[in-house]
Amino acid sequence: MDFSAAELAGILNGNIEGNREVKVTRISKIEEAEEGSLSFLANPAYTHYIYTTKASIVLVNKSFKPESSLKTTIIKVDDAYSSLAKLLELYEKSKPIKKGISALAFISENVKKGENIYVGEFAYIGTNCIIGNNVLIYPQAYIGDNVVIEDDSIIYPGAKIYANCKIGKSCIIHSGVVIGADGFGFSPQTEKNYRKIAQIGNVIVEDDVEIGANTTIDRATMGSTIIKKGVKLDNLIQIAHNVAIGENTVVAAQAGVAGSSKVGSNCMIGGQVGISGHLNIGNNVKMAAQAGVGANVKDDEIIMGSPAFAASKYKKTYVHFRNLDTIVRRIDELEKQIKLLNNKE
């Protein structure tokens, strides 16, 4: 990476205040940046750093107005965070792209391979698979029989994709992900033990989905577990059998969705949220971290708590909860006074 302020402003359609010719070779946090670094200011909590940072260039929102002189060159853009994301994407694309098939990889003879693919050492690709153009399959990945991986997707080291699953275009599957393992299906028996129910479905991951490290998505009992277009799943998430996650929904780490629940589009689900089985979650729903969801949720609701309910009501209720000890003592005192009054009568 080697850009001048003028070049960056051109890429980002920004306005420069300071030295147009100053150059940067790396990207750093505003509080840690050294000379030659590009940084950004998007969170107001970090505003004070812009007056002391050693960064050569800082991206700021167009609304930013310095309260004192700056030692750094600033580039004013519509959205500093989005502009940084654009630059990081350009930087990532500038890295050399791996190509070729390692002699130490195993690929079945009847696999259909696209152009410009990469298959690393000790990767395994089973029978009747279809691998699209520009797909990257890193070392020790496992691709089961009849799997389809469409164009421009990346399968990182150690990911496992079981038989008959489908991965769409431009997906990113991180290390340790397991897609298509058996759903948790067991039938209670009269002997108080359990009989396994065969899980004969698959998992369908649509286009532009990213799945974080060590996340697991179970195959359907019948039909498909579906992760729709644009979904972003963090690390360490469990998606059970026959679940559907709607378009552009984001889920933070350690969340779990139990079997057959349907989550709508454009939802935001916080860390450690638990969603019970066979529920319907509407579109545009927001769930605070550690929410325990045991009932259907309508469109556009914001919920928190366990059991979860409307965030506005939860916050009011929580005020009383924090004062519960005081309230109980007051009630006890009132009961004593009432008892004394009754005795006098």
Q: Is the dihedral of CA 243, 248, 252, 253 positive or negative?
A: positive
Residue type, 284: N
Structure tokens at 303: 């919920």
Active site annotation includes 241: yes
Q: Residue 70 CB: number of other CB atoms within 10 A? A: 15
**What does residue 321 show for φ and ψ, rounded to 5 degrees?**
-60, -40
Q: Choose, from 48, 174, 241, 320, the residue flagged as catalytic.
A: 241
With 0-12 / 13-18 / 19 or more C-beta atoms within 10 angstroms meaning exposed / middle / buried, residue 14 is buried
Closest CA to 127 of 149, 111, 140: 111
Q: Which DSSP helix (H) or strand (E) runs through 268?
A: strand 268-269
State CA 178 to chain mean position distance. 16
User: Cα torsion for 42, 48, 49, 50, to the nearest 10°?
Assistant: 70
Q: Is the dihedral of CA 97, 100, 106, 108 positive or negative?
A: positive
Structure tokens at 245: 């996650």
For the chain, give the number of residues.
345
272-290 exposure pattern, b = at least 16 Cβ within 10 A, e = fewer: bbbbbeebebbbbbbbbeb
User: Cα torsion for 169, 172, 176, 178, to the nearest 10°?
Assistant: -30
Alpha-helical (H) ranges within the chain are 5-12, 80-94, 311-322, 324-344
Catalytic residues: 241
